[in-house]
């Protein structure tokens, strides 16, 4: 009956925690407007509130919409007055294909091993170009790095380029000295492999520039790496120096094989050129021009089938795995936890909890997970940790075999499997359940023994007086003689060098004797249990191990059983024999 109650309590507790956790997490669609014009741009945010990490976002099918960009991934934590709020967002920029009432489709995402879904949202698209309050296409796609104020660097080579030479036209000057370029770290990859893509404005002219169109990114998971830093860098391209501005920097993870076409980025520029007039003075000439990048195609190959393990789930990069138990000295029927950490760099979205080959005499429960990933690094790096509660149901030695994790090492184009160390547990017998339940409600406090405290204090006072009181007068009479004698010794005694004390080493025997100084039963049995555990970790003799496990069981019974009959003398004597 007690066992049933125990498991019922554990199950209820886990359900309560999970219910509370899930109730605090919300997954919603947040559009920038509910009504727009057919040429307006709608920003749609799929937002997970109350979670630190989310995985396996299912990209919706925007059949009635043109996807201008997205999904742009972002996460944030805000702490106000000690209360921390966290959220994760997947943002799309959409433009309607026609007028009407269209749905923003639902999506799903995994949070802490649970799949969450959001409800679709309807948007009204008016049969007009624009609606008041909506975002127009020309300025609706601004991200960090969207506006570039001219940074004056002085009369260097770049600034001199803004001067029109005799016979040179403004059109030819602009064509050769300002452009947008898209770069990818590679143009051929496999499904799920991280790709770094950077859109940059290169200019050798004096200009004020503003992003007119951000590239639309489809068929990928996107980590946004663009920052607020607007300062230009000096970069060389085909032997010439340019000011280089980051328009957008993203980390892509292709979702399917085929050609991935990267959209163009466009920048509007107001360019100031200078022309020397007949009197020798410089006359400014202002030109407005829009420059765009060339389309770029990345060929995405399927994952290699040769030697592909059955347990491979799409993770690409370089990773290690480690595993540990919260308690390697355990008690049967007590709660314990396995912690699995996967660390490295690459594609973290597809990492799920690895399979554990549990021994037969264990019972485990649903796992939770925690991620600590630096998405601003390329490739993304960090850790993903899984926590799996379990119970050892029998005493003895338990070995959890090595836990495996498989990934594709793209540098060698080979599948690799890493393994953790095995975990060995020493499990003491469960607490005895041989007492009657109706006795638990009886008075098991120490109130009825409270009279012992003043009695002990009185006896201690009498003992102190008998031991020290009689000698007090004698010590007073002798103190004068001792003082005079001490003065003589101080004058005549040679000065000895101070000796450096040796470090104190506390032995197991010292720890055993220390048990005799503990006042309460709780302190005694707690310290005795700790000493037995320490001896068990050092002991290799099976016979002594059995004796130590029995002592741990006795201490548990004394600490937790309401009607325990274990006495301190028995435990002390047993420990004394084993030290």
pLDDT digits (tens, 9 = 90+) for 425-474: 999 998 765 444 344 334 444 555 555 656 666 766 666 666 655 555 55
d(CA 179, CA 265): 11
- Burial of residue 289 (CB within 10 Å: 0-12, 13-18, 19+) is middle
**Architecture in CATH of 317-427:** Sandwich (2.60)
| pTM of the predicted protein model | 0.56
Share of the chain above pLDDT 70, in %: 75
More confident residue, 556 or 194: 194
d(CA 251, CA 40): 27
d(CA 428, CA 185): 56
Strands 114-117, 100-104: pairing kind? unpaired
50 neighbors 109 (Cβ within 8 angstroms)? no
Share of the chain above pLDDT 90, in %: 40
User: What angle, 0 to 180 degrees and rounded to 10, lies between the N-to-C axes of helices 521-538 and 568-578?
Assistant: 20
Strands 178-184, 220-224: pairing kind? unpaired
The terminus-to-terminus CA distance of the chain in angstroms comes to 39
Give the model's confidence band at 535: pLDDT under 50 very low, under 70 low, under 90 confident, else very high.
confident
List Cα–Cα distances, 159 to 272, 351, 361, 544, in angstroms.
11, 50, 77, 85
List Cα–Cα distances, 116 to 16, 62, 108, in angstroms.
18, 20, 5
Number of residues that make up the chain:
579
d(CA 48, CA 292): 34
pLDDT of residue 432: 64
Cα R_g (the chain), whole angstroms: 38
pLDDT digits (tens, 9 = 90+) for 145-195: 444 555 444 445 556 788 888 888 888 889 889 999 999 999 999 999 999
Closest of 415, 353, 348, 351 to residue 380, by C-alpha: 348
DSSP 379: S
Would you say residue 377 has pLDDT above 90? Answer: yes
Would you say residue 25 has pLDDT above 50? Answer: yes
DSSP 165: P
Which string of DSSP letters, residue by residue, matches 35-86?
EEETTEEEEEEEEEES-S--B-------TTEEEEEEEEEEEEEEEETTEEEE
Domains 22-136 and 147-301 share a fold: yes
Highest mean pLDDT among 304-313, 423-432, 511-520: 304-313
pLDDT of residue 522: 87
Closest of 136, 139, 123, 142 to residue 39, by C-alpha: 136
User: What angle, 0 to 180 degrees and rounded to 10, lies between the N-to-C axes of helices 542-560 and 521-538?
Assistant: 160
pLDDT of residue 316: 96
Give the model's confidence band at 282: pLDDT under 50 very low, under 70 low, under 90 confident, else very high.
confident
Give the model's confidence band at 118: pLDDT under 50 very low, under 70 low, under 90 confident, else very high.
very high
Give the model's confidence band at 545: pLDDT under 50 very low, under 70 low, under 90 confident, else very high.
confident
246 neighbors 145 (Cβ within 8 angstroms)? yes
Helix (H/G/I), strand (E/B), else coil: 239: coil
pLDDT of residue 493: 47
Which string of DSSP letters, residue by residue, matches 122-155?
EEEEESSS--TTSEETTTTT--TT-EE------S
Q: Quick one: tokens of 5?
A: 């109650």
Phi, psi of 24, deg, nearest 5: -85, -10
Mean pLDDT of 190-207: 93
Closest of 67, 137, 125 to residue 99, by C-alpha: 125
413 φψ region: left (φ > 0), alpha (ψ -120 to 50), beta (else): left
Please report the sign of the dihedral spanned by the C-alpha atoms of residue 186, residue 192, residue 194, residue 198: positive
pLDDT of residue 564: 62
d(CA 187, CA 192): 14
Spell out the CATH class of 147-301.
mainly beta
For the chain, the structural domain boundaries read 22-136, 147-301, 317-427, 508-578
d(CA 86, CA 74): 11
Phi, psi of 435, deg, nearest 5: -95, 165
d(CA 226, CA 72): 11
**Architecture in CATH of 22-136:** Sandwich (2.60)
Phi, psi of 133, deg, nearest 5: 95, -20
Q: What is the separation of C-alpha 158 from the centre of its chain, rounded to a whole number of angstroms?
A: 45
Torsion, CA 473, CA 476, CA 477, CA 481, rounded to 10: 160
- Burial of residue 541 (CB within 10 Å: 0-12, 13-18, 19+) is exposed
Torsion, CA 207, CA 213, CA 214, CA 218, rounded to 10: -160
């Amino acid at each position: 009956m007690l066992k049933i109650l125990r498991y019922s309590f554990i199950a209820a507790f886990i359900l309560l925690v999970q219910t509370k956790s899930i109730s605090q997490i919300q997954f919603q669609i947040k559009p920038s407007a509910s009504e727009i014009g057919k040429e307006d741009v709608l920003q749609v945010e799929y937002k997970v509130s109350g979670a630190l990490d989310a995985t396996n976002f299912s990209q919706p099918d925007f059949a009635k919409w043109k996807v201008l960009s997205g999904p742009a991934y972002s996460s944030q934590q805000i702490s106000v007055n000690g209360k921390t709020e966290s959220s994760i967002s997947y943002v799309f920029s959409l433009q309607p294909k026609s007028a009407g009432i269209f749905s923003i489709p639902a999506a799903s995402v995994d949070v802490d091993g649970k799949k969450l879904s959001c409800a679709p949202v309807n948007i009204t698209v008016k049969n007009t170009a624009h609606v008041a309050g909506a975002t127009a296409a020309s300025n609706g796609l601004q991200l960090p790095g969207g506006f570039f104020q001219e940074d004056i660097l002085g009369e260097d080579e770049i600034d001199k380029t803004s001067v029109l030479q005799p016979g040179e036209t403004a059109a030819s000057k602009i064509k050769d000295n300002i452009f947008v370029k898209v770069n990818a770290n590679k143009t051929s990859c496999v499904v799920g492999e991280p790709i770094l893509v950077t859109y940059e404005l290169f200019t050798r002219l004096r200009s004020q520039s503003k992003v007119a169109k951000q590239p639309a990114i489809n068929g990928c998971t996107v980590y946004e790496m663009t920052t607020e830093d607007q300062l230009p860098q000096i970069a060389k391209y085909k032997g010439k120096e340019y000011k280089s501005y980051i328009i957008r920097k993203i980390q892509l993870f292709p979702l399917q094989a085929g050609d991935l076409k990267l959209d163009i980025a466009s920048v509007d520029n107001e360019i100031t050129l200078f022309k020397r007039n007949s009197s020798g003075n410089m006359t400014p000439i202002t030109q407005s021009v829009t420059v765009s990048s060339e389309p770029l195609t990345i060929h995405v190959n399927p994952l290699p089938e040769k030697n592909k393990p059955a347990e491979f789930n799409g993770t690409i990069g370089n990773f290690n795995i480690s595993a540990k138990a919260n308690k390697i000295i355990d008690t049967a029927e007590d709660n314990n936890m396995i912690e699995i950490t996967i660390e490295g760099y690459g594609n973290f979205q597809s990492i799920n909890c690895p399979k554990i080959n549990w021994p037969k005499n264990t019972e485990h429960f649903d796992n939770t997970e925690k991620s600590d990933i630096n998405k601003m690094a390329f490739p993304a790096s960090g850790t993903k940790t899984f926590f799996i509660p379990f119970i050892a149901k029998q005493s003895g030695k338990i070995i959890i075999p090595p836990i495996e994790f498989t990934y594709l090492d793209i540098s060698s184009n080979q599948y690799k499997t890493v393994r953790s160390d095995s975990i060995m547990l020493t499990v003491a017998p469960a607490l005895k359940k041989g007492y009657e339940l109706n006795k638990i409600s009886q008075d098991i406090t120490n109130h009825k023994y409270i009279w012992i405290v003043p009695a002990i204090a009185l006896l201690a006072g009498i003992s102190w007086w008998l031991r020290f009181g009689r000698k007090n007068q004698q010590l007073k009479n002798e103190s004068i003689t001792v003082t005079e004698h001490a003065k003589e010794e101080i004058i005549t005694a040679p000065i000895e060098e101070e000796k450096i004390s040796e470090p104190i080493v506390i032995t197991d025997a010292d720890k055993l004797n220390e048990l005799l100084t503990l006042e309460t039963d709780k302190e005694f049995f707690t310290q005795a249990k700790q000493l037995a555990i320490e001896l068990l970790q050092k002991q290799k003799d099976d016979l002594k191990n059995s004796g130590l496990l029995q002592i741990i069981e006795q201490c548990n019974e004394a600490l937790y059983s309401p009607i325990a009959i274990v006495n301190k003398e028995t435990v002390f004597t047993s420990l004394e024999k084993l030290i």
